[in-house]
Amino acid sequence: MTALHRPAPPTAADPRRWWALAVLAASLLVVVMDMTILTVALPEMAAELRLGAMSQLWVVDAYALALAGLLIPVTALGDRWGRKRMLVTGYAAFALGSVAILWADDAATVIAIRALLGVGGAMVMPSTLSLIRSVFADARERTLALSVWGATAALGAAVGPVVGGALLESFSWHSAFLVNVPLMVVAIAAAAWLLRENRSSRPGRIDPVGVVLSAGGMTAFVYAAKQLGKHGPDLGTLALLALGAAMLTVFARRALASSRPMLDVRIFASPVLRAGVVAALASSAAMVSVLYVGSQWLQLVEGWSPLGAGVALLPLALGAMVASPFAPALAERTSPRAVLAGGLVVLSLGLALIAVVPATYPWIAVAFTVVGLGTSALGLGSALIMGAATDDQAGSAAATEEITYELGAVLGITFLGSLVGAVYRAGLPGSADGAVRESVAGAVGGPWFAEAADAFVTAFAAVGAVGAVLCALAAVAVWRLVPGDLTLDDAHH
């Protein structure tokens, strides 16, 4: 088994590298789709298994919590054990969990299966990034490969509801899980054939205290942030948020004191990496919150079917897919700084359009497309994060990037989702009843629907306006952090 500790020189480029990228991108697509596919399948699943409101929340959240909590320890293990081996194990966990759904007949089993899928996701996502870094030795090719990776992540988030809706129209809710099985079997075979093993020459020590601190801290922080978004601040949630932050702080201090830490936090000394993190956070938060609020607007206010709403959200992904491959070439002609900051400005403009255009679908589709075009610079952000690390730090950089995406998505829904609730309730007449005040879903078909729909449209516009300001601030931060004379070659160790 060959360990690729150093990238081969460009002359010895792996002839199968683009096929390898196809496998890595396709598997990422499945993992990201799994985050959103369940939003469509949940009502039918809840009815059949008689899931209460709390059980439904756990079915949705178990995946994200397992994935976020295990990213750091699993990536450190992959550096030592082999990233290809970790990737294939993740595929197997995905296939196993997806088959097991056939025997699930209660809430606890479904939650356990979703957690197992989250473990698989934690194994797959950073491994794809680390392997792209090792397979593509040439800086320009690697940036293009990472741009394709970024576009695939955007596509997966938008396609999940479409695939879920299409499957539910023909089959039972089980199909939303079973669709993963043939895809993962093909991925295991293709990865075994196309990918070479790759591990770090100086892997971090697996520190049991560090595992508890990182996994516990991430899980507590993400769970508390989600609870804040759903129920607003209360003492218990704020205490849990503080505990999560404190555990992560202690973990970071232990990592700094170690010569071979599980996560090399020293990579944050690089302003270029910090710029990549800011861009990834902003793009992820914007994309997920627009998907979340846009989906509610289409289905609850406009009355579209789940499948129709899924298709209507596709401009978000199409914008990213069309523009992503051009980002590296544009960065070469201008500069990485201009393209990354420019992408965030375009993203800001797309969000501003949501705030100002009439709330009818053709106009909102234009806004979605501009938002998608703006997220196309995300792959370049990935390239800056991965390029700022040495070969031995590749796992740490990959884990950092994935944590950034996860936190961006969670914080986007927590804070912009809370904004939607606050603006929506403020726009309702004082005499509106409790169910209507809770959410626009409670007003569908009732006497207060017209007022609730207007209030939700105002809330959707508010998300666009606030998101636009945040992305503009992120563009300024990126412009200040990335040196003007940085080239794509400089951005890669």
Q: Is residue 162 part of a domain?
A: yes
226 with 330, same domain?
A: no
Sign of CA dihedral 335, 340, 341, 346: positive
What is the predicted pLDDT for the residue at 253? Answer: 93
Same domain, 147 and 242: no
Clarify whether residues 130 and 226 are in a common domain.
no
Same domain, residue pair 25 and 53: yes
> 420 or 15: whose pLDDT is higher?
420
* Residue 487 domain flag: no
The answer to whether position 31 is within a domain reads yes
Does a structural domain hold residue 154? yes
Given a cut of 80, whether residue 492 has pLDDT beyond it is no
CA–CA distance, 295 with 40 (Å, rounded to integer): 10
**Tokens read off for 363:** 């106009």
Which of 47-51, 316-320, 334-338, 364-368 has the highest average model confidence (pLDDT)? 364-368
Residue 489 domain flag: no
Alpha-carbon separation of residue 466 from 348, 461, 473 (angstroms) = 9, 9, 11
- What is the DSSP code string of 387-407? HTS-GGGHHHHHHHHHHHHHH
Please indicate, yes or no, whether residues 273 and 339 belong to a single structural domain of this protein.
yes
Q: What is the mean pLDDT of residues 332-348?
A: 92
Tokens representing 421 are 């609730």
CA distances from 225 to 45, 242, 288, 404, 410 (A): 25, 10, 15, 14, 7
Domain boundary among 257, 290, 317: 257
Asked whether the predicted pLDDT for residue 4 surpasses 60, the reply is: no
Do 456 and 354 fall within a single domain?
yes
Give tens-digit pLDDT for 143-198: 888 888 878 877 887 788 788 878 887 888 888 888 889 989 999 999 998 888 87
pLDDT value of residue 3:
40
* Best CA proximity match to 459, nearest among 489, 396, 416: 416
The pTM assigned to this predicted structure is: 0.84
Percentage of the residues of the chain whose pLDDT score is greater than 90: 28
Distance of CA 359 to CAs 368, 416, 447, Å?
12, 18, 21
Rg over CA atoms, the chain: 22
| Dist. CA 194–CA 2, nearest whole Å | 13
Q: CATH number of the domain that 365 lies in?
A: 1.20.1250.20
**Residue 6 domain-assigned?**
no
Judgement on whether residues 153 and 248 belong to the same structural domain of the protein: no
Instruction: Report which DSSP code applies to 104.
Output: -
Q: Quickly tell me which residue has 């705030």 as its tokens.
A: 355
Per-chain mean pLDDT for the chain: 85
Q: Which of 47-61, 75-89, 250-264 is least confident?
A: 47-61
Burial class from Cβ neighbours inside 10 Å (0-12, 13-18, 19+) for residue 55 reads middle
One-letter amino acid for residue 249 of the chain: T
pLDDT (0 to 100) of residue 232 = 75
pLDDT tens per residue, range 264-308: 888 888 898 899 899 989 988 888 888 888 888 998 899 888 788
The arithmetic mean of pLDDT across residues 231-238, rounded, is: 84
If asked whether residues 315 and 184 sit together in one domain, one would say: yes
Residue that finishes a domain, picked among 224, 257, 290? 257
- pLDDT tens per residue, range 104-116: 888 899 999 999 9
Whether 355 and 444 share a structural domain: yes
Query: Are 238 and 347 within one domain?
Result: no
Q: For residues 272 and 386, is the Cβ–Cβ distance under 8 A?
A: no
Domain contains 453? yes
Boundary (domain end) residue, out of 197, 231, 257: 257
Based on the fold, state whether residues 263 and 243 are members of the same structural domain.
no
Q: Flag whether 383 is in a domain.
A: yes
- Domain span at residue 284 reads 15-207+258-481
Domain count, the chain: 2
Q: Mean of the pLDDT values across residues 104-131?
A: 89
Instruction: Please say if the pLDDT value at position 356 is more than 90.
Output: yes
Let me know whether 251 and 120 are in one domain.
no
Q: What are 135-149's pLDDT values in tens digits?
A: 888 877 888 888 888
